[in-house]
């Protein structure tokens, strides 16, 4: 190889174009100067099919750009470095072929194989169900979500019989770090969801590995944090603000024609009829403890007058396609609210009925998105920075309904009442205790103690204004 003149200042030099070194190597092989050393480095980007690195060397768990490979040439001489770079690449190539063969062998019966089998089978079963699109979205997220998705974990591409308990411990640590970084939780909910999916895949693997004892997951310690909710004062302020935005029509006795005559625009969600609908939705949540996914499904026909000023709602389908669930109001004024609501909406959808439900599937409509948009707008207008931005969403209203009911009636915390109240709201007694009652009790205990314990005397500390 003849020594051609090199640029006085250079950062990288292509081995093929500049030096013409003979041998088998990629056209992007180059030598490179590093700022921290005078020794030159070889650098190349292999073909993805020849790259044994996870995700073919892509960053961000397979979602980012592919990263180059660098090796020290051990010399400061560019010409010698060019020769050595070819040898370094060829050595890497030999090692890579061996790794790829091993990976190919180890990847047989990987979680990825069972995921494809599981997803195809479940999709066929669920295709005609109402919540099929939501199920697809949620399951795909568990499997393929950036960074924490199962498919991005190094053990997911190995045969399932090679997965260890340590792999699961490392994974749970990753989920915990992610959760703490976004809100202080220990990630117990996410751990449970990911564990459930992995277990489903391992069940499929049992036929291929009879008698094999798959590793156990670490225990998941449940941790609850205080949910965001409105105080009674804030709740009253919110309703008053919505009434104001509806130009005082939300509380009026409107017949169907008067309701349909209210100002409405498809292109502008901040219109009079939508504010009336938000008011109706807020009180439906307030009285009947509904889930967010109930709001776009609710129909007038589901509500029945039971006499004695009592209304019962028969939810035809509920979360995860559970059977009909019955719920009623615990507040006396729930009946008066229902009388006003059925007057203006005697049949059909109750919440934003002007929004079309595609193909009869309300889950695919923008009803819930619109509700959250309206709620966020009015909460920002009413509370400004006094209420966290993360709480300006529909689940906050459900939390508010539960929380304030339990505050007003402490007797609901005692069995069997708590069992009935939990069933009415389609939740569990433990959920009520952990999410609301523990904080209500803590606040009540502290308040009562402050009223009982008098002011102490400063015996060991001298006041700043006290004379020496």
Domain boundary among 48, 69, 104: 104
Based on the fold, state whether residues 359 and 287 are members of the same structural domain: yes
298 and 373 in a single domain? The answer is yes
Looking at residue 319, its pLDDT comes to 47
Q: Taking a C-beta distance cutoff of 8 angstroms, is the pair 398, 285 a contact? A: yes
Supply the DSSP string of 66-109, one letter for each residue: BPPEEEE-S-S-HHHHHHHHHHHHHHHHHHHHHHHHHHHHHTTT
Verify that 150 and 55 share a domain, yes or no.
Answer: no
Confidence of residue 462 (pLDDT cuts 50, 70, 90): low
Instruction: Measure the CA–CA gap between 139 and 335, rounded to whole angstroms.
Output: 40
- Calculate mean pLDDT across residues 222-242: 88
Tokens 């349909």 identify what position?
Answer: 260
pLDDT digits (tens, 9 = 90+) for 312-357: 999 875 444 455 788 999 999 999 999 999 999 999 999 999 999 8
**Domain for residue 346, yes or no?**
yes
466 falls within a domain? no
Mark whether 159 and 249 lie in a shared domain.
no
pLDDT at position 222 over 70: no
Give CB contacts under 8 A, 24+ apart, made by 44-49.
Answer: 44/68, 44/69, 44/85, 44/89, 45/69, 46/93, 46/96
Quick check: is 439 in a domain? yes
35 and 178 both lie in a single domain = no
Model confidence pLDDT, tens digit, residues 233-245: 999 999 999 999 9
Domain limit, last residue, from 104, 136, 151: 104
Q: Supply the pTM of this predicted model.
A: 0.57
Residue 242 counted as domain residue: yes
pLDDT classification of 108: cutoffs 50, 70, 90? confident
Q: With contact defined as beta carbons under 8 Å apart, do 321 and 132 qualify?
A: no
**Domain end (from 167, 188, 205):** 205
Residue 467 belongs to a domain:
no
Q: Are residues 389 and 285 in the same domain?
A: yes
416 cis-preceded (ω within 30 degrees of 0): yes
Query: Vertex 103, ends 100 and 104: CA angle to 5°?
Result: 85
Q: Is residue 433 part of a domain?
A: yes
- Beta 69-72 vs 37-44: how paired, if at all? antiparallel
Domain identity same for 298 and 178: no
How far is 115 from 201, CA to CA, in rounded Å? 6
**Residues 72-105 pLDDT 10s:** 999 999 999 999 999 999 999 999 998 888 767 6
Tell me: do 148 and 294 sit in the same domain.
Answer: no
**Whether pLDDT at 229 is above 50:** yes
CB-based burial, 354-364: b 16+ in 10 Å, e otherwise? ebebeeeebbe
- 212 in any annotated domain: no
Query: Domain residues for 17?
Result: 12-104
- Answer whether residue 264 shows pLDDT above 60: yes
Verify that 316 and 267 share a domain, yes or no. Answer: yes
Alpha carbons within 13 angstroms on the beta-carbon side of residue 193 total 16
Q: Identify whether residues 167 and 256 lie together within a single domain.
A: no
In terms of domains, do 277 and 372 share one? yes
Average pLDDT over residues 125-147: 86
pLDDT (average), residues 283-306: 93
Total number of domains constituting the chain: 3
- Say how far apart CA 404 and CA 236 lie, in whole Å: 12
Q: Specify the CATH number for the domain of residue 380.
A: 1.10.443
Tens digit of each residue's pLDDT (9 = 90 or more) over 377-417: 999 999 998 999 989 999 999 999 999 999 999 999 999 99
Quick one: 246 and 395 in the same domain? yes
Is residue 223 situated within a structural domain?
no
């Amino acid at each position: 190889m003849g020594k051609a003149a090199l640029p006085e200042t250079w950062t990288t030099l292509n081995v093929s174009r500049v030096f013409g070194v003979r041998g088998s190597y990629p056209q992007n092989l180059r030598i490179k100067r590093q700022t921290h050393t005078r020794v030159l480095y070889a650098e190349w980007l292999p073909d993805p099919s020849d790259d044994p690195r996870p995700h073919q060397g892509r960053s961000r768990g397979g979602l980012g750009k592919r990263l180059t490979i660098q090796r020290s040439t051990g010399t400061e001489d560019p010409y010698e470095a060019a020769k050595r770079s070819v040898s370094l690449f060829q050595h890497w190539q030999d090692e890579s072929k061996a790794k790829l063969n091993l990976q190919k062998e180890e990847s047989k019966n990987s979680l990825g194989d069972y995921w494809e089998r599981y997803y195809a089978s479940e999709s066929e079963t669920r295709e005609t169900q109402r919540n099929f699109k939501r199920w697809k979205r949620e399951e795909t997220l568990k499997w393929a979500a950036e960074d924490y998705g199962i498919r991005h974990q190094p053990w997911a591409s190995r045969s399932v019989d090679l997965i260890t308990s340590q792999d699961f411990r490392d994974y749970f640590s990753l989920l915990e770090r992610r959760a703490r970084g976004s809100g202080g939780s220990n990630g117990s909910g996410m751990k449970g969801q990911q564990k459930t999916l992995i277990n489903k895949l391992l069940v499929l693997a049992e036929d291929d590995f009879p008698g094999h004892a798959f590793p156990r997951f670490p225990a998941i310690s449940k941790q609850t944090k205080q949910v965001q909710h409105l105080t009674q004062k804030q709740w009253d302020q919110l309703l008053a603000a919505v009434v104001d935005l509806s130009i005082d029509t939300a509380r009026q006795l409107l017949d169907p024609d008067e309701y349909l005559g209210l100002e409405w625009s498809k292109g502008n969600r901040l219109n009079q009829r939508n504010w009336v609908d938000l008011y109706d939705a807020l009180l439906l949540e307030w009285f009947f403890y509904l889930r967010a996914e109930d709001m776009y499904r609710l129909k007038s026909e589901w509500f029945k007058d039971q006499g004695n000023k009592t209304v019962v709602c028969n939810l035809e389908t509920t979360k995860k396609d559970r059977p009909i669930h019955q719920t009623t109001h615990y507040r006396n004024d729930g009946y008066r609210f229902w009388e006003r609501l059925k007057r203006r909406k005697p049949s059909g959808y109750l919440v934003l009925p002007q929004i079309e439900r595609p193909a009869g599937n309300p889950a695919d409509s923008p009803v819930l998105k619109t509700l959250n948009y309206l709620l966020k707008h009015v909460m920002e207008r009413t509370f400004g920075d006094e209420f966290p931005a993360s709480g300006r969403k529909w689940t906050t209203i459900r939390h508010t309904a539960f929380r304030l009911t339990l505050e007003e009636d402490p007797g609901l915390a005692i069995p069997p009442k708590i069992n009935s109240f939990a069933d009415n709201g389609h939740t569990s007694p433990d959920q009520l205790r952990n999410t609301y009652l523990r904080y209500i009790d803590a606040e009540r205990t502290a308040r009562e103690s402050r009223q009982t314990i008098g002011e102490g005397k400063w015996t060991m500390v001298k006041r700043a204004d006290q004379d020496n």
